[in-house]
């Protein structure tokens, strides 16, 4: 964990201002703060919703600052006036003040976009002056000179020329391989001088996952797995959990990194249910699946979990497959829940499950070999393109993954 590393993130605006770059900045700021950084946002507009993040409001760096709009009109006429110089000087003083105590400064988009060229010019000078004390990362999402929607009359004339200047005292980062190739051409530099770090997504917020379920999922590394299966039901023998556990074992043997989440606790008033639960725990231990088969009810006190409707919805959101191995059922509500959340279903070929699933789920016989069912599940999911993409996104593009794979070393 980073210990009190001071990180500033600079952009024209910050949420609740809506924009793709703004959401990326918020994601970066929050994940860095959660991992021990002192994070400061330097921006013209925005509000902080995280108690560990500071905000320095510098209205002059906004794209719509009145003086900037006047200066922008002058620049479009080829006039670099005293107004420009005064705005640049004011911005320079305020940013340098905000950078006191900062080790790393991440600048988003400003150095390749024309929205406030007094700011761009001020930062160019600040980098030259302070790069021995502060590490500057220039994060390029877009570039005016690469975008046909923007027309620059004199791209070789200062300060527009700054938009294609490669500052050797800073480190350049962009968000995709395609953008990297474009920037290398714009700056006329080799590919090794620009690094790609993808944008991330706040999975917890976007899916609306509750704190307890999120903490459990992170602690159990659910998002690192290739396949996460859900079996939501009561602990009764007719649910035939043994088969689900054996299928999980075969998936593990085949090399699949997977988990099976079983939601229900044993009924304390039903002696046979408690005994059955104990036998399931014994089977899990015998098959060495203690890290793969999770009895969610065992984690209630640890993570403040309930197994109510909200938590159940959250579990559907983070899983890849509903696995039901019941030997008998009266209806099959989990199939409805899975369908409404667009979760693929694999279930035993018994009525009424087969009546509900029809040919839109993977059905297997109760006496099928677990190894055969495991192979069919793998093939079934391989033909569901949303499954591998979901797994890839949560394992590579969550902010937790972006921090682990890129930001920790970058800020380090």
Q: Residue 268: what pLDDT?
A: 64
Q: What is the dihedral of CA 316, 322, 324, 325, to 10 degrees?
A: -130
**pTM over 0.75, yes/no:** yes
Residue 222 domain flag? yes
Residues 376-399 have a mean pLDDT of 92
Q: What is the mean pLDDT of residues 76-81?
A: 93
pLDDT at 269 > cutoff 70:
no
Q: Look at phi and psi of residue 10 and say left if phi exceeds 0, alpha if psi is from -120 to 50, else beta.
A: beta
Same domain, 209 and 185: no
Q: What percent of the chain has pLDDT over 90?
A: 84
Are 387 and 402 in a shared domain?
Answer: no
Assess if residue 346 is contained within a domain.
yes
For residues 109 and 215, membership in a common domain is answered with no
Residue 1 lies in a domain: no
Which among 312, 294, 301, 311 is positioned nearest to 211, based on CA atoms? 311
In a domain, 293, yes or no: yes
Using the structure block, give the residue that is written with the tokens 């490669």. 166
Write down the pLDDT at residue 1: 38
Q: Is 277 domain-assigned?
A: yes
DSSP labels, 281-316:
HHHHHHTT-TTTEEEGGGGHHHHT---SHHHHHHHH
Same domain, 43 and 177: yes
Domain total of the chain: 2
Query: Which of 194, 192, 197, 198 has its CA nearest to residue 183?
Result: 194
Q: What is the CATH number of the domain that holds 123?
A: 3.40.50.2000
Shared-domain flag, residues 230 and 370: yes
What is the percentage of the chain residues whose pLDDT exceeds 70? 98
Domain region containing 185? 6-201+398-411
**For residue 75, what are its two tokens?**
């620049």
pLDDT bucket at 318, cuts 50 / 70 / 90 = very high
Q: Cβ–Cβ contacts within 10 Å for residue 174, how many?
A: 24
Return the minimum-mean-pLDDT range out of 3-7, 74-78, 112-116, 185-189. 3-7
Q: Do 184 and 219 share a structural domain?
A: no
**Cβ(325)–Cβ(247) below 8 Å:** yes
Q: Which two tokens stand for residue 175?
A: 């968000």
Sign of the dihedral defined by the CA atoms of residues 404, 409, 410, 412, in that order:
positive
Regarding whether 219 and 197 lie in a shared domain, the answer is no
43: alpha, beta or left, given left = phi > 0 and alpha = psi -120 to 50? beta
pLDDT at 291: 95
Report residue 309's pLDDT band, with 50, 70 and 90 as the boundaries.
confident
Q: Is 151 inside a domain boundary?
A: yes
| Shared domain check, 121 and 71 | yes
What per-residue confidence (pLDDT) applies to 301? Answer: 87
pLDDT value for 29: 97
Q: Is 70 part of a structural domain of the chain?
A: yes
Residue 145, helix vs strand vs coil? helix
Q: Per-residue pLDDT for 2 more than 80?
A: no
Quick one: pLDDT at residue 243?
A: 98
Q: Clarify whether residues 39 and 142 are in a common domain.
A: yes
For residues 277 and 184, state if they share a domain: no
Residue 48 vs residue 271, higher pLDDT: 48
Residues 240 and 348 in one domain: yes
pLDDT at 267: 67
Whether pLDDT at 234 is above 90: no
Q: Which tokens is 243 given?
A: 């088969």
Q: Is residue 89 part of a domain?
A: yes
DSSP type of residue 150: S
Helix (H) or strand (E) holding 346: strand 345-348
CA distances from residue 376 to 198, 257, 262 in whole angstroms, order as listed? 34, 16, 21
Contact 232, 333 (CB under 8 A): no
Same domain (yes/no): 302, 405:
no
Distance CA 400, CA 35 (A): 10
Q: What is the pLDDT of residues 162-186, one digit of tens each?
A: 999 999 999 999 999 999 999 999 9
């Amino acid at each position: 964990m980073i210990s009190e590393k001071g990180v500033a993130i600079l952009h024209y605006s910050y949420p609740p201002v809506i924009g793709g770059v703004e959401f990326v900045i918020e994601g970066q700021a929050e994940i860095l703060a959660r991992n021990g950084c002192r994070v400061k946002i330097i921006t013209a507009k925005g509000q902080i919703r995280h108690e560990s993040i500071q905000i320095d409001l510098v209205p002059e760096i906004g794209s719509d600052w009145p003086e900037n709009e006047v200066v922008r009109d002058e620049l479009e006429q080829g006039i670099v006036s005293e107004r420009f110089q005064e705005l640049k000087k004011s911005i320079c003083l305020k940013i340098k003040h905000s950078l006191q105590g900062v080790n790393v400064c991440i600048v988003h988009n400003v150095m390749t976009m024309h929205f406030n060229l007094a700011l761009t010019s001020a930062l160019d000078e600040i980098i030259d002056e302070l790069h021995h004390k502060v590490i500057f990362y220039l994060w390029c999402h877009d570039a005016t000179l690469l975008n046909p929607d923007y027309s620059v009359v004199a791209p070789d004339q200062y300060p527009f020329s700054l938009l294609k200047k490669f500052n050797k005292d800073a480190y350049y980062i962009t968000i995709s391989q395609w953008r990297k190739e474009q920037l290398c051409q714009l700056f006329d530099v080799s590919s090794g001088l620009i690094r790609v770090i993808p944008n991330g997504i706040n999975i917890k917020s976007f899916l609306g996952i509750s704190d307890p379920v999120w903490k459990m999922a992170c602690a159990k590394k659910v998002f690192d797995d290739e396949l996460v299966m859900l079996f939501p039901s009561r602990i009764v023998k007719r649910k035939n959990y043994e088969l689900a556990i054996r299928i999980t074992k075969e998936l593990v043997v085949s090399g699949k990194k997977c988990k099976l989440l079983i939601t229900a606790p044993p009924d304390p008033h039903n002696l046979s249910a408690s005994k059955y639960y104990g036998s399931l725990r014994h089977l899990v231990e015998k098959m060495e699946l203690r890290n793969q088969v999770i009895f969610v009810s065992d984690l209630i006190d640890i993570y403040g979990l309930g197994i109510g409707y909200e938590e159940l919805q959250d579990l559907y959101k983070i899983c890849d497959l509903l696995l039901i191995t019941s030997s008998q059922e009266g209806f099959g509500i989990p199939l409805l829940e899975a369908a409404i959340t667009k979760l693929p279903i694999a279930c035993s070929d018994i009525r009424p499950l087969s009546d509900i699933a029809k040919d839109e789920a993977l059905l297997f016989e109760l006496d099928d070999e677990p190894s055969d069912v495991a192979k069919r599940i793998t093939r079934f999911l391989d033909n569901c393109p949303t499954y591998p993409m979901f797994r890839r996104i949560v394992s590579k593009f969550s902010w937790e993954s972006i921090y682990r794979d890129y930001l920790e070393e970058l800020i380090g």
